[in-house]
Amino acid sequence: MSQVYINDFGAHVGKEVELKGWLYSRRSKGKLHFLMLRDGTGIVQSVVAKGEVSDELFEQAGRIGQESSVIVRGVVRADARAAGGVELGMLDLQVLQDVKDYPIAHQEHGPDFLLGNRHLWLRSKKQAAIMRIRSRIVRAIRDFFDDRGFTLMDAPIFTPSACEGTSTLFEVNYFDEAKAYLTQSGQLYGEAAAMALGKVYVFGPVFRAEKSKTRRHLTEFWMVEPEVAYATLEDVMDLAEGLICAAVSAVLQHHRQDLADLERDVTKLERIKAPFPRITYEEAAVLLEKLGTGFVRGNDLGAPDETALGEHFGMPVMVHRWPHEVKAFYMKRDAADPRLALGVDVIGPEGAGELVGGSQREDNLDELLGRIHAHGLPEEAFAWYLDLRRYGSVPHAGFGLGLERTVAWICGREHVRECIPFPRTLNRIYP
């Protein structure tokens, strides 16, 4: 007999199957044990009835501890009351390891305890659901770009220079002569790649020595960064909108049970449709002053401002054309008003915060050189980047979407640390 995964049980009703997994939890009632079994694809209830199995098996089924590893043979039965619509009538039980005192019980534990036991916490129903949805979102992102003729271009992780400001750089010793930094963003390399291949995306881990201890900040997180030659700010706003809609709809299509296990209100996700509202920074400022968030004109948006905007629109909202002082050195100025940078932030609803940051890039050599000096960045480290403006410079634009913030929003989780397998934050690097 061959192994059948729980998420395929629906196609095996009335048949005998073998489940290879772990004991998630147990309830016993008189002559019945109800074992909740998990195998990584789902959880199924297995009923063990005294008299229908050997006394020895019945006794064992009532005794083994949480997370014991088991191989179970049984018959799949349709049961409308069960999650997934099926249950497993147990015929045979093989215990690979009988576990005593599994540290994570099915009761409330504090976040520190759970994060310290992240290697085990991943087995719990909600955490596994988040990881499956994360995997789906990654796949949806890759499909989105691959289907549109983008080429995946991996950017290096060791870099000689900053991309997103010097205050959040992780420095590493790079042999004897040099210092290197862990990349904050693959964008600059994405720009070189776009000049070579037209439409590209970088997708990988990035690092920020963020001193902020907020629910939206990790020190290591994943970002997808498309970069497109001959594109404008408006073009990449369309692209970001399409990408976000594709991610949401892939999750709605394939992960109804996971969303239910997460108690996610799916009506809020079903509402997410293009076009997203697009407002200038100036319009956002007027609105925030009306909403009374304490926003100070000229500043970046704070967390309360982002939350208020998200709540006001109930949709991802695209805030574009920012005062250039609050944005990165590489953003192109707006020809219509040079005080403004052609940047966009996409702010998610339900307190999700900034999901996307993007811009049209400065494509003029002298302007860019001026910015590098004005931001106090070392010109030598950017020599190769400046070459892109010397040899066939063209208008181009791109953005970065933060994976964990997107996962947190779609899963309805408060904190991004639950949305990456092993989170790294200001004060945690274990396990």
Task: Tell me if 310 contacts Mg ion by CB under 5 A.
Answer: no
Task: Count CA atoms closer than 13 A to 367's CA, side-chain side.
Answer: 15
Helix (H) or strand (E) holding 146: helix 125-147
- CB distance 338 to 368 below 8 Å: no
* Residue number with CB closer to ligand 4AD (218 or 251): 218
Q: Which does 334 bind (CB under 5 to 8 A by kind): Mg ion, ligand 4AD, none?
A: none
Comparing CB distances to ligand 4AD, the nearer of 400 and 412 is 400
Indicate the residue among 227 and 258 with the shorter CB distance to ligand 4AD: 227
d(CA 160, CA 166): 12
Q: Which residues pair with 201 in a beta bridge?
A: 152, 226
CA–CA gap between residue 13 and residue 134 (Å, rounded): 30
Residues forming a β-bridge with 46: 35, 88
Of 401, 353, 344, 348, the closest CA to residue 225 belongs to: 401
- Distance, in Å, from the CA atom of 414 to the CA atom of 408, rounded to the nearest integer, reads 7
Judged by the rule CB under 6 A, the positions of this chain that interact with ligand 4AD are 163-164, 185, 187, 208, 210, 217-218, 221, 223, 225, 354-359, 398-400, 402, 404-405, 416
Closest approach, Cβ 85 to ligand 4AD, in A, equals: 37
- Binding-site partner at residue 241 among Mg ion, ligand 4AD, none, CB < 5 to 8 Å by type: none
Which of 46, 406 has the CB closer to Mg ion? Answer: 406
Q: Do 219 and 208 meet the contact criterion of CB atoms below 8 Å apart?
A: yes
- 413 touches, from Mg ion, ligand 4AD, none (C-beta below 5 to 8 Å by class): none
Q: Which stretch binds Mg ion (CB under 5 A): 68-76, 209-217, 320-328, 351-359?
A: 351-359
Task: Report the partner that residue 348 touches, choosing among ligand 4AD, Mg ion, none (CB closer than 5 to 8 A by kind).
Answer: none
Amino acid type, 327: K
Q: Is the Cβ–Cβ distance between 19 and 6 less than 8 Å?
A: yes
Task: Give helix then strand counts, H and E, for the chain.
Answer: 13, 17
Whether 20 contacts 62, CB under 8 Å: no
What is the closest distance, in whole angstroms, from the C-beta atom of residue 242 to ligand 4AD in the complex?
16
398 binds Mg ion (CB under 5 A): no
- Parallel, antiparallel, or unpaired: how do β-strands 337-348 and 317-323 relate? antiparallel
CB of 221 to Mg ion, least distance (A): 12
Q: Of the two residues 33 and 396, which places its CB atom closer to ligand 4AD in the complex?
A: 396
Query: Please, what is the minimum distance in Å from the beta carbon of residue 83 to Mg ion?
Result: 40
237 binds, among Mg ion, ligand 4AD, none (CB under 5 to 8 A by kind): none
Convert 83-98 into a string of H (helix), E (strand) and C (coil). Answer: HHHEEEEEEEEEEEEC
Q: Name, in order, each residue with C-beta under 8 angstroms of 107's C-beta and a sequence gap of 6 or more.
A: none
**Structure tokens, 425:** 């934050």
What's the closest the beta carbon of residue 327 comes to Mg ion, in angstroms? Answer: 8
The site partner of 404 among Mg ion, ligand 4AD, none (C-beta below 5 to 8 Å per kind) is: ligand 4AD
- Residue closer to ligand 4AD, measured from CB, 70 or 408: 408
Q: In the bound complex, which residue of the shown chain has the CB atom lying closest to Mg ion?
A: 357
| From ligand 4AD, Mg ion, none, interface partner of 400 (C-beta below 5 to 8 A by class) | ligand 4AD
Decide which of Mg ion, ligand 4AD, none touches 187; Cβ closer than 5 to 8 Å per partner kind.
ligand 4AD
| 74 sits near Mg ion (criterion: CB under 5 A) | no
Only segment of 19-27, 243-251, 350-358, 420-428 that touches Mg ion (CB under 5 A): 350-358
Query: Which of residues 137 and 301 has its CB atom nearest to Mg ion in the complex?
Result: 301
Contact positions with Mg ion (CB under 5 A) in 353-382: 357
In the numeric block, which tokens belong to residue 431? 């396990």
* CA distances in angstroms from 121 to 102, 151, 300, 348, listed in the order given: 11, 36, 36, 27
Closest contact distance (angstroms) between CB of 279 and ligand 4AD is 17
Q: Which of 99, 2, 79, 3 is nearest to 34 (CA)?
A: 79
Q: What angle do CA 270, 272, 276 make, to 5 degrees?
A: 165
For helices 303-313 and 281-291, what crossing angle results, to 10°?
90
Q: Which residues contact 44 (CB under 8 A, 6 or more apart)?
A: 6, 9, 19, 36, 37, 38, 82, 83, 84, 86, 87, 88
CB of 329 to ligand 4AD, least distance (A): 11
Residue 398: name its binding partner from ligand 4AD, Mg ion, none (Cβ under 5 to 8 Å by kind): ligand 4AD
Determine if 402 is a binding residue for Mg ion (CB under 5 A): no
Measured between alpha carbons, how far is 325 from 369 in angstroms, rounded to an integer?
Answer: 16
Q: Which does 217 bind (CB under 5 to 8 A by kind): ligand 4AD, Mg ion, none?
A: ligand 4AD
> Does residue 412 touch Mg ion according to CB under 5 A?
no
Nearer to ligand 4AD, 150 or 221 (CB): 221
Q: Where does this chain bind Mg ion (CB under 5 A)? A: 357
